[in-house]
Amino acid sequence: MIASSIPAFEHERSTLLFSAEQLAQFGAQWTAKEISQQPKMWRQVSDEHRNKAGMSTWLSTILAKPQLRIILTGAGTSAYIGDALAAHLQQHLPLVTQRVEAISTTDLVSHPALYLSPKIPTLLISYGRSGNSPESMAAVALVEQLVDDCYHLAITCNGQGQLAQYCTDKPHCYLYKLPDETHDVSFAMTSSFTCMYLATLLIFSPNTEALNQICVMAETILSSHLAEIRAQAELACQRIVFLGGGPLKAIAQEAALKYLELTAGQIVSAFESPLGFRHGPKSLVDFNTQVLVMVSSGAYSRQYDVDLIKELKRDNKALSILTLSESQLLNTNVLEEVWLGLPFILWCQVLAIYKAIQLGVSPDNPCPTGQVNRVVQGVNLYPLNQG
């Protein structure tokens, strides 16, 4: 067992097994709070969603359009919400002629002509923790400029942000404001990511039983698995790979980004699907590499995950092979992967904060020199000349 550089601390008022004093010392107060509050926030988002009756009325008219196109957009972590949910939402649209696509604001802004169609009615669903990222408003403006029949649904944690202000009191826009507590103060998006993700599920495919189960799973992680996750973080890895299939591929991508951000790039992180991993990326596995496989709940899809896990064990090259499954947390295999993504990413967030603390990196501000920032800076926006 490798000696831990993280001091042990257990107390009924601790957060992620640390006291308030320890978290202040590590520069981890906000990140720890925002990770830990997620089950509570998920329930609050669900409760507040019941009071948004006006949104259903507003959305029903748009969803009656036979050729409707829905674009899920954001940048970085916010973009991965759309990547995880697009295929699932497609199955819940009222008309087979409608479609859902995930296109990041960074792609929409740099290449609008490739992605926007003037004659197709379009609902742009924009995700933004602050709503102040430069690409967020640029994407909205480009859709307004290039699409004849457009609508905007802003899902944001900041009612004072530019995105929220734009979507207030305009008949073709709707502001879906999340609780103030989800507007993460820390550098990395944690509860803001999962709550914007959950809001989308509540809008298009609500499932009360699934919500209750994922809250229980998250609470189980925070009450019974922290020591296990901390032990995983204490392994002296130089690389880590997150693998997931279907919607869990985007969750794996977000997990890799969270790990990279919170460790200030000291640990190289990657992601793929279990099937895609063999097609080249598997070559990065060596004795300094951790692999974490997010196991699908569906029996058919799970076969491919299990095959790869067995193969990695036979190879005997990885530092460790970790698995994360519904059965570990709930002793069932019934939830759709879009719901499993929420407790699974919480597990990965905890893993990342423990690693950051072990490395001596402040999770709240892992890049104090400013090469990367909480709200992206340094983006020049250019007018689109349609001529």
Question: Do 89 and 140 have their domain in common?
Answer: yes
Residue-averaged pLDDT of the chain: 93
pLDDT digits (tens, 9 = 90+) for 307-346: 999 999 999 999 999 999 999 999 888 899 999 999 999 9
Is residue 105 a part of any domain in this protein? yes
**Are 31 and 368 within 8 A, CB to CB?**
no
For residue 146, how many other CB atoms are within 10 A of its CB?
A: 18
pTM for the complete prediction? Answer: 0.94
Concatenated DSSP letters of 313-356: HHHT-SSEEEEE-HHHHHS---S-HHHHHHHHHHHHHHHHHHHH
Question: Do 113 and 226 have their domain in common?
Answer: no
Question: Do 280 and 196 have their domain in common?
Answer: no
Q: Is residue 2 very low, low, confident or very high in pLDDT (cuts 50, 70, 90)?
A: very low
Domain count within the chain: 2
Question: Do 124 and 58 have their domain in common?
Answer: yes
* φ and ψ at residue 124, rounded to 5 degrees: -95, 115
pLDDT digits (tens, 9 = 90+) for 172-203: 999 999 999 999 999 999 999 999 999 999 99
What mean pLDDT do residues 99-111 have? Answer: 97
Question: Do 268 and 194 have their domain in common?
Answer: no
Is residue 156 a part of any domain in this protein? yes
Q: Is residue 378 very low, low, confident or very high in pLDDT (cuts 50, 70, 90)?
A: low
Q: How far apart are CA 166 and CA 107, in angstroms?
A: 21
Question: Do 69 and 147 have their domain in common?
Answer: yes
Indicate the residue type of 363.
P
Q: How far apart are CA 159 and CA 332, in angstroms?
A: 38
Q: DSSP 3-state assignment of 51?
A: coil
Q: How far apart are CA 325 and CA 301, in angstroms?
A: 13
Q: Is residue 386 very low, low, confident or very high in pLDDT (cuts 50, 70, 90)?
A: low
Question: Do 199 and 227 have their domain in common?
Answer: no
Q: 159, 186, 204 — which closes off a domain?
A: 204
What mean pLDDT do residues 367-383 have? Answer: 67
Q: How far apart are CA 296 and CA 245, in angstroms?
A: 7
- Looking at residue 11, its pLDDT comes to 39
- Looking at residue 333, its pLDDT comes to 84
For CA atoms 274, 226, 208, 78, the dihedral sign is: negative
Question: Do 114 and 200 have their domain in common?
Answer: yes
Q: Is residue 65 very low, low, confident or very high in pLDDT (cuts 50, 70, 90)?
A: very high
What residues make up the domain containing 213?
Answer: 20-28+208-359
Question: Do 156 and 264 have their domain in common?
Answer: no
Nearest CA among 168, 377, 349 for reference residue 259 = 349
CATH of the domain at 250: 3.40.50.10490
What mean pLDDT do residues 74-96 have? Answer: 97
Q: 204, 223, 254 — which closes off a domain?
A: 204
Strand order in the sheet with 320-324: 268-272, 239-244, 289-294, 320-324
> Quick check: 13 pLDDT over 80?
no
Is residue 331 a part of any domain in this protein? yes
**Are 98 and 68 within 8 A, CB to CB?**
yes
Residue with tokens 């002296």: 236
Is residue 44 a part of any domain in this protein? no
Question: Do 236 and 273 have their domain in common?
Answer: yes
Q: 155, 175, 204 — which closes off a domain?
A: 204
Is residue 303 a part of any domain in this protein? yes
- Looking at residue 4, its pLDDT comes to 41
Is residue 57 a part of any domain in this protein? yes
What distances in angstroms separate CA 95 from CA 103, 150, 351, one per listed residue? Answer: 21, 18, 41
Secondary structure of 58-107 in HEC code, one letter for each residue: HHHHHHCCCCCEEEEECCCHHHHHHHHHHHHHHCCCCCCCCEEEECCHHH
- Looking at residue 380, its pLDDT comes to 82
Is residue 330 a part of any domain in this protein? yes
Question: Do 221 and 327 have their domain in common?
Answer: yes
Concatenated DSSP letters of 213-229: HHHHHHHHHHHHSHHHH
What mean pLDDT do residues 126-151 have? Answer: 95
Question: Do 58 and 189 have their domain in common?
Answer: yes
Is residue 14 a part of any domain in this protein? no
